[in-house]
């Protein structure tokens, strides 16, 4: 199934590329933009995960200090 879709997409892109010379460049730009967006969103998720873990560590540290005081 995946090969059929890529073959159809390739044929469509090739045919459209003959008609519109900028079509291939548009697809390259869209692919690059997609990779950029995925990379940026991945970085946001990574930053939020590190922040969450840091906050959990701070809470655990406070609880441990409170337990040692008692």
Question: Model's pTM, two decimal places?
Answer: 0.56
pLDDT of residue 30: 81
In this prediction, residue 69 has a pLDDT band, given cuts at 50, 70 and 90, of confident
41 vs 36: CA distance, rounded Å: 9
Q: How many domains does the chain have?
A: 1
Percent of the chain with pLDDT over 90: 41
Q: Which domain holds residue 64?
A: 2-69
Confidence of residue 40 (pLDDT cuts 50, 70, 90): very high
Q: Please check whether residue 13 is in contact with residue 26, taking contact to mean a CB–CB distance below 8 angstroms.
A: no
d(CA 58, CA 70): 19
Contacts of 39 (CB under 8 A, 6+ apart): none
């Amino acid at each position: 199934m995946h090969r059929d879709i890529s073959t159809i997409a390739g044929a469509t892109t090739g045919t459209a590329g003959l008609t519109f010379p900028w079509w291939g460049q548009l697809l390259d730009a869209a692919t690059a933009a997609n990779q950029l967006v995925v990379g940026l969103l991945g970085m946001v998720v990574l930053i939020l995960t590190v922040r969450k873990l840091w906050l959990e560590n701070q809470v655990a540290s406070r609880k441990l200090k409170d337990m040692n005081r008692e």
